[in-house]
Amino acid sequence: QVQLVESGGGSVQAGGSLRLSCVVSSVGGLRNCLGWFRQAPGKEREGVAAICARATFYADSVKGRFSISRGDAAKTTLYLQMNSLKPEDTAAYYCAAPMRSLAISETLTPGAYTYWGQGTQVTVSS
C-alpha cells in the first residue's frame, strides 16, 4: 500500500509563488515515476509534472514556471515549486504514484497512476 499526503496549497496573487510538498510512504514499492496533477472545477484532471528517476516532464502550460523535484536521500518527499502563478493555475493539486513502471508517453496521464493523495487547493487571484 502507498500513501501520499500533500501540503503547501494556499491563496496567492497572480505572479506569486507556492511550493507544494507530498510525503510518500512505501517508496520501495513504487516504480519509476511520481507525478503532480490538478483538477479545476468542471474540468478533467490533468497532468502537471512528473519525475521518473532523473527525468522530468511538464505540461506545456507550466513549462518554465513549475519545477518538480524529489527531496532527501530516501526520496520520500516530492515537491512542486510553482512560480509566476496565473489565475488559470487555480485547482486542486494531487500527487500520485503508479503501480508499475511507466512509458514516457504515460508520465502525465492520470489513468496510469494508481495511488493518489487527498489533494491541496491552490487559488490564484488576479
Which DSSP string corresponds to 55-87?
EEEE-TTTTTTEEEEEESTT--EEEEEE-S--G
Residue 109's contacts (CB-CB under 8 Å, 6 or more residues apart) are 47
Higher pLDDT, 23 or 2: 23
Cell numbers 518527499: residue: 77
What confidence score (pLDDT) does residue 25 get? 86
pLDDT tens-digit series, residues 51-90: 998 899 999 999 999 999 988 766 689 999 999 999 999 9
Cell numbers 508517453: residue: 105
Averaged pLDDT for residues 1-10: 92
Q: What 8-state DSSP symbol labels residue 43?
A: S
pLDDT tens-digit series, residues 10-45: 999 999 999 999 999 875 555 579 999 999 999 999
pLDDT tens-digit series, residues 96-120: 999 888 999 999 999 999 999 999 9
Could you tell me where the beta strands, DSSP code E, fall in the chain?
4-7, 10-13, 18-24, 33-39, 46-52, 55-58, 66-71, 77-82, 91-97, 115-116, 120-125
Q: How many CB atoms lie within 10 A of CB 1?
A: 6
